[in-house]
Amino acid sequence: MSNTDFTLAVEDLTVSFDGFKAIDALTLYVDRNELRVIIGPNGAGKTTLLDLICGKTRATGGSIKFKNEELNRMPEHQRVRRGIGRKFQTPSIYENLSVFKNLEVSYPAGRSVLGALGFRCTDAVRARVQAVAEDIGLGDRLDTEAGLLSHGQKQWLEIGMLLMQEPELLMLDEPIAGMSARERELTAELLQRICQNRSVIVIEHDMDFVKRIAHKVTVMHQGKILAEGPMEKVQADPKVIDVYLGH
Ligand code: ADP
Ligand code: MG
């Protein structure tokens, strides 16, 4: 496989904050339809890596290629248009709007029939909202005000808002924090479903959850990759046990 076949190819990526390298010559490849989990101690650089990929933070050096196109100097909104979706740790849904409206407003404006003339809820948009709502387990909650949803349902709604844009790479930072056991289980199923059509990167701490969802695990430490591979291999790695799993 050549590097051009990957959905995401991060090579020799570095970012320094006042001389401190939060990401230090990091190289990482993510396949099409792969679900990659990134683990590692606090401060390892996991969130910063997602910030660099989505364009929230500019790299100091190295390369980030998405479907073989260099992203490094591309502004954040253009990366979204190219198909990169990012969920932050705190949900940013419209609490006073219904589930339906939250999903509807997330439909990419440029793709609506009337485009710049103004948004109208066409049958195509309505169908897409319905399909995404089913995907995130909120198919029968379309009229519910988002503020009334449970914590877990709010997280799913935000994932749904990203899915409305049909991203080819979806990145989630600690998506199950604060969820109940049942919600975690449903989230694992949701992630397994959505990676059938796209690549997904998940940062997570809960090892049972990681085991359930990960195709491959990348362990980060001090801005570098400490280990990478299937969960069983990574879990048995003495370096990983030493800096992370042993604690
Ligand atoms: P993780 O998500 O793995 O816990 P982070 O990516 O949040 O780690 O942080 C990695 C390191 O980079 C930390 O030491 C953090 O303090 C530092 N850092 C992150 N963002 C900035 C920033 N904008 N300015 C300065 N330091 C930062
Ligand atoms: Mg973090």
> Can you give the pLDDT of all 247 residues of the chain as single tens digits?
566 679 999 999 999 999 999 999 999 999 999 999 999 999 999 999 999 999 999 999 999 999 999 999 999 999 999 999 999 777 789 999 999 999 999 988 755 455 544 555 688 889 999 999 999 999 999 999 999 999 999 999 999 999 999 999 999 999 999 999 999 999 999 999 999 999 999 999 999 999 999 999 999 999 999 999 999 999 999 999 999 988 6
Burial 169-190 (b: 16+ CB within 10 A, else e): bbbbbbbbeebeeebbebbbeb
Q: Are residues 226 and 155 in the same domain?
A: no
Whole-prediction pTM? 0.93
Which residues does ligand 1 sit against, CB inside 6 Å? 17, 22, 40, 42-48
Of 133, 166, 199, the domain-final residue: 166
User: What is the residue range of 205's domain?
Assistant: 1-83+169-247
Q: Are residues 52 and 158 in the same domain?
A: no
Q: Of ligand 1's atoms, which has the minimum distance to the CA of residue 22?
A: 12
Residues with a beta carbon under 5 angstroms from ion ligand 2 = 46-47
For residue 211, report the distance from its CA to the centre of ligand 1, in Å.
26
Of 166, 183, 198, the domain-final residue: 166
Of 139, 166, 193, the domain-final residue: 166
The CATH number of residue 2's host domain is: 3.40.50.300
Q: Of ligand 1's atoms, which has the minimum distance to the CA of residue 51?
A: 6
Point out the ligand nearest to the CA of residue 88: 2
Q: Are residues 134 and 188 in the same domain?
A: no
Among 45, 40, 7, 43, CA closest to 25: 45
